[in-house]
Amino acid sequence: MAAMLLKSPKSPPPDAETLGLQALAFLVADDDRRNRFLALTGIQGDQLRAIATTQHGLGAVLDYLLGFEPLLLEFATEIGVEAAIIATQRRKLPS
């Protein structure tokens, strides 16, 4: 009798807020990424914690990644999701 291979169920994508938090952690984990993010957004380092606590802030972080495809793809690869999922989930947060 041939053995049946069972596919493991595909896990749901992270929710929008989780993706925003993961994106913020991704950006601040690397000095170059963090410094570029701060310089281009005008955000001060001491404001990062506040950004992590609001849906608007997390949406802005995802907008930043969505605006620079190489960084978006690097992030998507690191967390194991398709970049399109990030864009879809972004729409669930306020502008």
CA 1, CA 18: separation in Å to the nearest integer? Answer: 44
Confidence of residue 69 (pLDDT cuts 50, 70, 90): very high
What is the rounded end-to-end Cα distance, in angstroms, of the chain? 56
pTM of the model: 0.85
CA 75, CA 77: separation in Å to the nearest integer? Answer: 5
pLDDT in tens, 34-65: 999 999 999 998 899 999 999 999 999 999 99
What the block records as the tokens of 54 is: 């609001």
